[in-house]
Amino acid sequence: MTNQQVHSLDLLAGVRIVSLAVNIPGPLTAARLTQLGARVTAVLPPSGDPLQIYLPQWFDDLHVDQEVVTLDLKSPEGIAELDSLLTQADILITASRPSALARLGMDSHSVSVKHPRLCHIAIVGESGERADSPGHDLTYQAINGLVNPPAMPTTLIADMAGSERATQMAIAALLHRERTGVAMHLEVALAGVAHDMAEPHRRGLTKPGGGLGGGLGLYGIYETQDGWIALAAIEPHFAQRTLSELKVDGSIEGFAKVFATKTSQQWEHWAREKDVPLVEIPQ
């Protein structure tokens, strides 16, 4: 389903959201909820969002169909304007350390006293005693074994998956309030999300030599005459078809020898004809 199709459903029509979050996880959460039909007001500090500086096009994309305002929350006037927005809102999204929210009077207790019907989704780095510890996606991936030095991660697992979880929590909070009349404060810890995303690695599945980590011939990356392909034929029907069509024994060496005989595009064309999950890896 495309973003346009999701948005056209307007599943969250009438829901008002205020987001104080900057960088990636919070704005991406707000963007997902906007796509579902919610009305979002993004509140930026006077310094703006760092994403505006290092990737302005993505910032613009994440704030399509949103109202963007700038408020100085260190001033009484800024807090008053924010309170006015929150009075009409259903969900507040934050992505700051608890101590920073407390200094602004935006901790969960203060928010619930002022706005008892407001659900609060707090995106934090870590939870519990380490809630105020500094960190970002790279450090959360690193402590969960998802970094292979010296290479940098190819994507922002904690941030991206964290935004999806925060979106789920926002919808769950709305449902709970609808059923019980009680607004909730829910916390999404990015370190915890990275921990969950690392489960296949911890269980050995994707570690080097693991079943999905290069130890299985039917699930791997192979060199061709002019590049590389990715093969993922692990279901029995895909496996049987692949082995039968290629006339190989299923070993990594056997696949490597066969795939080296043609170009990547030729193998991708073959895979489409034979209904085999194989694609060319862009260079």
Task: Give the domain 3-200 fold.
Answer: Rossmann fold (3.40.50)
Provide the pLDDT for residue 129. 85
**In this structure, what DSSP letter does residue 113 have?**
H
Question: CATH topology of 3-200 equal to that of 219-280?
Answer: no
Cα–Cα–Cα angle for 100, 51, 119, nearest 5°?
45
Extract the residue ranges of the chain whose pLDDT is less than 50: 1, 6-7
Specify the pLDDT at position 1.
46
- Distance (Å, whole) CA 161 – CA 195: 11
Whole-number Å distance between alpha carbons of 89 and 203: 42
- Of 118, 108, 124, the closest CA to residue 85 belongs to 118
The pLDDT of residue 280 is: 98
Instruction: Name the phi and psi angles at 153, rounded to 5.
Output: -60, 145
- Say what the pLDDT of residue 130 is: 87
pLDDT recorded at residue 8: 53
- Give tens-digit pLDDT for 147-185: 999 999 999 999 999 999 999 999 999 999 999 999 999
Domain 219-280 in CATH: superfamily? formyl-coa transferase, domain 3 (3.30.1540.10)
Predicted local confidence at residue 118, as pLDDT: 97
The domains of the chain are located at 3-200, 219-280
Measured from the Cβ of residue 118, the count of other Cβ atoms closer than 10 Å reads: 22
The model's pTM is 0.90
pLDDT number for residue 7: 47
Q: How far apart are CA 250 and CA 229, in angstroms?
A: 16
Q: How many helices (H) and strands (E) does the chain have?
A: 14, 9
